[in-house]
Chain A
Amino acid sequence: MRRLALAAAVALLASVPWMGNETLVEFGINALLLATLAQAWNVIGGFTGYASFGNSVFYGLGTYGTAIAMAQLHLPFAAGLGLGAAMAAACALVLGVPILRLRGPYFAIATLGLSAAMAAIFSNLEIAGKNIGLILPLFRGERLFYELSLALLVATTATVAWVASSRFGAGLVAIRENEEAAQVMGVDTTRYKVAALAIAAVFSAVAGGIHAYWITFIDPASAFDSTLNVKMVIMAVFGGPGTVLGPVVGAFTLSAVSELLASRLSTVAAGFYGLVVVLAVVFMPRGLLDLGRGLRRDGWRYFAQNVRRYRL
């Protein structure tokens, strides 16, 4: 039943480019890629409990991998995605070991520095077009980009579903809940954390690659944009971190809210967006999915309980 509903939802989403207008497709591509990023963040942030602010680095490496492969090496798009994903995975493996030793806010701050550092590195690389950036070959295939983004989101979500039900995922949750205890019970915590980061890195990079080819122009500032990272964290947390569908629901909801506000209210939109996030954190800190369950169980008292339980 649940599977059937999911399949129907995917089919419905897949049919959008053949029914909707251009604006809707453009909105769709953005929303799908953001949902992918939120879902990828979910692996390291939601399941493993490491709030990474460095996932935009993986996204940026994906955009640059694709751009360098296509604009400089004249390779096909698929090779570009592969190069970007490989660069991101290598980055996760190399940087993961030292930074995943840090916990809590220290980890968040260390990862936050990575975007800035990476932007500086790439604006000095000849092959990456220095700080001017790169222009990719033009390809006008909105429908293809839409379907690719959807396929990527489905693949990412399938991976998260596997994580949620696997022994590997149980190890990640154990790390989130008590890392010392996980280690004492024989979980190879370092390897698990690095693997979780690498999974997040690969999917984020492919999302970056698709976005780069779609937009056809990239530069260091847009590729390594830490506000993008803030967005994915907010979306994942809004929907429900550590759940299979929460980040997707959160990303779609917030994308829609932000789009509606932007078209109706323009400049005040950002303020309202912020307000929505603040209210969400106060009244439903465990995300949209938990809200659904809580409302059915406790009705409106659910909100009061949250406020009390988290002492807000």
Chain B
Amino acid sequence: MSALLEIAGLGAGYGEAPVLFDVGLEVRAGEIVTLVGSNGAGKTTLLRAISRTVDSTGTLRFDGRPLGGLTPEQVFDLGLVQVPEGRQLFDRMSVEDNLRMGAYRRRDAAGVREAFDRVYRLFPVLRERRAQLAGSMSGGEQQMCAIARALMAAPRLLLVDEMSLGLAPVVVDQLLEVLAEIRRQGITVLLVEQDVFAAFSVADRGYVMETGRIVREGAVADLRSDPEVRKAYLGVH
């Protein structure tokens, strides 16, 4: 199976400060892949490089097409859509308006109506609260809204950044189930997480990042039994 997202020898940074070194990562169509690592490992920078808001060197291809030289909007139009860290909702706008902003670049009215139906089926609570201001909902509901908003853009690859941040474990479990359902609907997911337990429970494969380098990769089952990973990230021996 060919890779949907293909990254090799990638370097990136801010001005004089390099953050990523020789990063290699692959996401195949239909997979849930997770990228784990502690604070400051460079996970978010990698997402920025993928969405072209930070310049990078090396190979960066989506569906065989090089992303270098594209603007963030062009990358978005290819179907690489982010659920950003901290959710970044339009707090003073209604849930429905937030979702509509997800479909901002779409011009197929019928497709947008269908997308509304689909995300409301996925998140019935959002349908109930569609007139409510997004900022007034609970953290979990806000995260649902952020995921739903990204889905409105008809993504081919969903880039989810720190989904579990600040949420109760039971809410995180619900959201992980949703990710699995999204994958069943044919959308590939790259999940960037600090919560390794949560990430491994839903992903097929994983990458471990430390100080800007990929230090481990493989099937989640293998990573779970890797003594180094167990010690550093799962807190078990």
Contact = CB atoms under 8 A, between A and B. Distances in A.
A65 interface: no
B91 A177 contact: yes
Contacts of B101: 170, 174, 181-182, 185
Nearest to A191: B73
Tell me if B's interface is mostly helix, strand, loop or mixed: loop
A193 to B, nearest CB: 14
Q: Which of A167, A174, A181 has the most CB of B within 10 A?
A: A181
Interface residues of A, number: 15
Contacts of B201: none
Interface string B101-115: 110110000000000
B91 A178 contact: yes
Interface in A73-108: none
Interface string B161-205: 000000000000000000000000000000000000000000000
| Contact-residue bracket for chain B | 20 to 34
Contacts of A184: 51, 82, 84, 88
A178 B73 contact: no
Interface in B78-104: 82, 84, 88-93, 101-102, 104
A186 B92 contact: no
A181 B149 CA distance: 10
A135 B149 CA distance: 57
Nearest to A183: B72
B71 interface: yes
Nearest to B104: A185
Interface string A21-43: 00000000000000000000000
B53 interface: yes
A185 B102 contact: yes
20 contacts: A170-B101, A174-B90, A177-B90, A177-B92, A178-B91, A180-B84, A180-B88, A181-B88, A181-B90, A184-B51, A184-B82, A185-B76, A185-B101, A186-B72, A186-B73, A186-B77, A186-B153, A187-B73, A188-B72, A188-B73
Given A183-B72, A186-B72, A187-B73, 17 more contacts: A170-B101, A171-B104, A178-B88, A181-B88, A181-B101, A182-B101, A184-B82, A184-B84, A185-B101, A185-B102, A185-B149, A185-B153, A186-B76, A186-B77, A187-B104, A188-B71, A188-B72
